Every structure is written in C-alpha cells, then in structure tokens.
Amino acid sequence: MSKPYDVIVVGAGPAGYVAAIRCAQLGLATACVDNWRDKDGKPALGGTCLNAGCIPSKALLETSEIYEKARQEYAGHGIDIKQMEFDLGRMMARKDRIVTELTQGIAALFKSHRIDWIQGRGRLLANKHVDVTAPDGSASQTLAADNVILAAGSKPRGFAEVPLTDGYIVDSSGALALDAVPRRLGIIGAGVIGVELGSVWHRLGSEVVLLEAQDRFLAMADEQVAAEALRQYARHGLNIRLGARVMSCEIKDGQVSISYRDKDGEHSETFDKLIVAVGREPNTDGLVASEVGLILDEWGFIHVDESCRTNIPGVYAIGDVVRGPMLAHKGSEEGIMVAEVIAGHFARVNYDLVPSVIYTSPEIAWVGATEQNLKASGKPYNVGVFPFAANGRAKASGDTSGMIKVLADGETDRIVGVHMVGAHCSEILAEAVIAMEFGASSEDIGMTMFAHPSLSEAFHEAALAVQGHAIHIARKQR
C-alpha cells in the first residue's frame, strides 16, 4: 500500500479538483484520482465540465453567436460584410484549444500545490481505502487516507427508446464534436442542454426541432421568464414542441426516423442527426464497494447532510453525485466547504442562493424563489419588472429583448428571487446573488447608484418597480 494521505479525492471535475486544491492550501496531504481521457486518449483534468460540457459548449455558443450576429445584425449597425462564411473545422479547433489550455492549467495548479494526480478509476473500499485501477485495466493499487471525498460527477442519461448510434444518434458530448452541420437536426429534450446545443447548430444553419415531453417549457424557471424565453427562441427559429413524447426510433436510408405522440396524436419526423439530451445521472455505478455500506437513494445519489458528510465517518460526497442542481459552481463551493470542514473550520453553502444560467440568446438567469414558489407558499410578496426595451445600453447594442424581474417579501421587502432573460444576464445575475447574500431589500437596490448607461440599470429599475417607483417605464394607472 502507498503512503497514507490526509485526503483522497475521487474525481477531478469542478467539485473534485477545487476540493483537492483547497485541501492542499489548508496543509493537507492530498491525492486526486481521475480516469478522464481526452479525444486523443491522453489524461486530462477538469471532468465533464471542462472537457465535454460547460467550457466547449460555451466556446461554440460564443463562436456561433458571433457568426449569426455578423450575418443578420451587423448591417443594422452600418457594417456590411460580403461573402459571409464559416469554417467548422477551425471553430472546433478553437474549442479544443480552449479546453486544452484550461485542463493543462489545472495540471499546473496541482503541481504547484503538490497534489498527487493519480490516473485511473477510483473505487471506495472499507476503512477509507481507495482502489485505483489503471486506465488500461492492467493493474491496480490501493491508497489509504484519513478522509475521502467522492466527486465522480455525472453522465448523460440514456433513453431506452433511442439508443445511441455512432454517426447518427449522439449524446451531449457527441453533439459538441459533429464534423458537419446537419441540414435537419432533432433534439430530444428542451432543457438547459437541449436549448444550448440547439442554439449552436441552428445559428450555423441547421433546421432544429426540439421535442420536450413536459407540457411546460423550463419548469424549473419562473413561468413569466420561461414564457418570454420561449417566445424569443421561436422568433429566432428554434422549433420547440412541448408535450411531445418520443415512442420509437429507427435509422433508415442514412437518416433517423422517429415517432412521437402529443395532444394531437401520433407524428413522425426524419432528421439527419439526433441528439439525446434528456438530462444527466450521478456517476456512482461501481464507485463504492458494497461492503462499505454507503447509503445511496433509488436514483443513485449519495446521501449526505448539509455539510456533505455521508453516513460513513470521514467520507464525504460533493457535486453531481449528491442532491441539488447539477451545476459546476455548486460542486466547487461544496468542495471548498468540505475541505474547510476536514481542516476543522466552519463552512457552509447557501443552497437557497445557487445561481442558474442558460447560455442561449437571449440568456436566461435566475436565483432564489420563483413566483410560482411564492404563490404556492401563500406568503405575501411584491413584484417588480423592467424590460430591456426601456434600457439605453440595450438600445445602443441593438438587443432589447427580455426583462429583469425582482420578487420581494411582502412584509420585510427583502429580495427573495431575481429572474431575468436577455443579453449578458449571466453576468448581471451576480449582482442579485451578492445582494441577496447580504440580505438586501428592493429599497436597498433602489437606493444604490448604478452606472449609466449599463444593462445593470435594468436590475436597479426592476427593484424600484417593486414599489411602483421605476423611472423609465410608464406608471400603471390605478
């Protein structure tokens, strides 16, 4: 058996690698076990997020949005570009370069913090031992630690009626590596992953149809914001069909044929490519030996308390393998919290203020309670809404779609939810998260000076609108 560690982290995604770095910063002898391989078969840190999720998808979203704006919007600014075209190979190469730079950056951070990067598949054994199988399966070693952090991440959820098929039916990872723009692209699932991937390929020329089984679009978001987003997506050309349950699928004559059912009966569609984007599931298969006695729920999530402790003393679990939204920043904050707890410090994660973003055009972003949450609770609340159409910076940029919505407690005026749809909302949202973390009221935001002209002024005005004091929209007649 190798040298004992203070901490072994299993998994090197945003939860695991952040936990490992913070543990090392706190003076703990740390190892991180990870089995990820890049498209060339080389080891790479960063997990799904950096290698096949958050980062490559945002790189392609950014590139495709620039192309779409150049093709459709620049003329409105007086900029004419002749013979507009794009090179998909170069777009993909740029995406891959960004991924490589970031994953190599994590490797450098590991080296500077003297973290042992152990390549292989980790499996928790009894007594906080971790068995590591080499990437090629040829050998294994057993590590020991005082503490183990399980951060194995998640994987795309399968869909029995539509099995993946090389070249025709792909999951979210495959959708980020297509070698040509499909003429007609089908996507099963119109959640976060589906609409982001749909946006990329639609901007590059695909006719995109998204089939969503739920009757409501983005059920986790505020209804008003989701409805506005759906309207904007339709205006941009995304064909989102709600209440559409896929029944069967076959590949015929070089195309993918599917049948689905909605309130109007059964229908069929044919696509050049099909993406399955029906969500993700915890990557806990084979992660823990049965004799350990670790408690998992029926969906494969590891049971933890508010500090991410499992039922096994000295064993923690963070990120996508535990309850809560599968978001990189949530996993990272859990990693920092657990490192602090192991070191004997107080730490917490405020799960009421986990920001959520969908990086489409327009972007959707929110934090805190939705209006439907507040209605269901029966608690009194007030609402302020301000449209970007009344914002000077949005007018100047040429993108006035969307709005910002502020929800405040009806008795204390404390902000309990902020929801927005529009350009750069992923950045504006941070203002709301900070304000809510410090317990700000809508009046506090209304009394704060914002730079003019800026998109963030819409947040200021939405807060003023909670009490009917917005300056740049007409006052409602009583």
Give residue 378's identity as a one-letter amino acid code: G
From the candidates 129, 452, 469, 472, which is the catalytic residue? Answer: 452
Residue with the two structure tokens 């896929």? 246
Which stretches within 314-359 are classed as H helix?
A: 328-342
Tokens of 180: 């040509």
Tokens representing 456 are 């963030």
Alpha-carbon gap, residue 10 to 343, rounded angstroms: 18
Exposure pattern of 394-431 as b/e (b: 16+ CB <10 Å)? beebebbbbbbbbbbbeeebebbbbbbbbbbbbebbeb
d(CA 3, CA 183): 56
Contact 370, 455 (CB under 8 A): no
Look-up of token digits 């790479």: 44
* CA-wise closest residue to 455 among 473, 433, 431: 431
Tally of residues, the chain: 478
Beta strand ranges found along 301-377 (DSSP E):
315-317, 356-358, 363-368
Q: Locate 310 and state its tokens.
A: 């499992």
Range list of H helices, 204-286:
223-236
Whether 452 sits among the annotated catalytic residues: the reply is: yes
Q: What are phi and psi of 293, to 5 degrees?
A: 80, 20
Write the CB contacts of 18 (distance below 8 Å, at least 6 apart in sequence): 331, 332, 335, 336
Q: Any idea which residue has 């759906």 for tokens?
A: 230
Measured in degrees and rounded to the nearest 5, phi and psi for residue 74 equal -65, -30
Pairing of strands 207-212, 184-188: parallel
Q: What is d(CA 466, CA 473) in angstroms, rounded to the nearest whole number?
A: 13
Cα–Cα dist 133/307, whole Å:
29
Give the amino acid at 346: F
Buried b vs exposed e over 70-80: b needs ≥16 C-beta within 10 Å? Answer: eeeeeeeeeee
Cα dihedral sign, 59-63-68-69: positive
Query: Three-state SS for 462?
Result: helix
Residues forming a β-bridge with 129: 144
The Cα–Cα gap between 129 and 36 comes to 21
Query: What are the phi and psi torsion angles at 249 (to 5°)?
Result: -155, 145
Residues with a catalytic annotation lie at 452
